[in-house]
Amino acid sequence: MRKLSMDELNRPDIATFRNSGKIPVVVVLDNIRSFSNVGSIFRTADAFCIEAIHLCGITGCPPHREINKTALGATETVSWKYFETINQSLIYLKQQHYSIIAVEQTTNSIPLTEIQWPTSLALVFGNEVEGVSYEALNLSDTIIEIPQNGTKHSLNVAVCAGIILWDSFKHFQYKIV
């Protein structure tokens, strides 16, 4: 056994990747405090060919040293937009016919294992302390949560995004052609 070299991984260059097909998922970051979490989510979005990221409120934007440290270049491959408020992002996405799915623990949330993925969707991930804002929850079509059995009440937002994005990626069965 040996590890594969970078050449053997056969990854596309930046220009090819930007022009390749993406799965119909937009990640919406609702007031994420940590630049490291933002960078990690960019990197995950690149890995799973996510259409775009919306950065809202206090969420840091590229270029930033701390984002770049964890993104490892994904800020150059994943399309992104900044919105001053979460409402601006979600209203824009609704006008573009995206289903809004917030990831939060609420009395109305359904387990990730039971989600029926819509045709195109926006996944809302919330602040590390406060979670998804009530503004975003009120504009959401569905609220999902990751089933957990441990003693902690939540997952790190970047870890949560990784799990949810992997599940949506599997659903769309995306393969780069």
Confidence of residue 177 (pLDDT cuts 50, 70, 90): very low
- Which tens digit of pLDDT belongs to each residue from 119-134? 999 999 999 999 999 9
Q: Does some domain include residue 6?
A: no
Q: Does some domain include residue 12?
A: no
Mean pLDDT of the chain: 95
Q: Does some domain include residue 107?
A: yes
CATH number at residue 160: 3.40.1280.10
Task: State the residue range of the domain holding 160.
Answer: 20-172
Q: How many CB atoms lie within 10 A of CB 118?
A: 15
Q: How many CB atoms lie within 10 A of CB 23?
A: 18
Give the E-state strand segments of 20-170 in sequence order: 23-30, 50-56, 79-83, 99-103, 110-111, 121-126, 142-145
Instruction: Give 134's contacts (C-beta < 8 A, 6+ positions apart).
Output: none
What is this structure's pTM? Answer: 0.95
- Asked if residue 139 has pLDDT above 90, the reply is yes
- How many structural domains does the chain have? 1
Confidence of residue 174 (pLDDT cuts 50, 70, 90): low
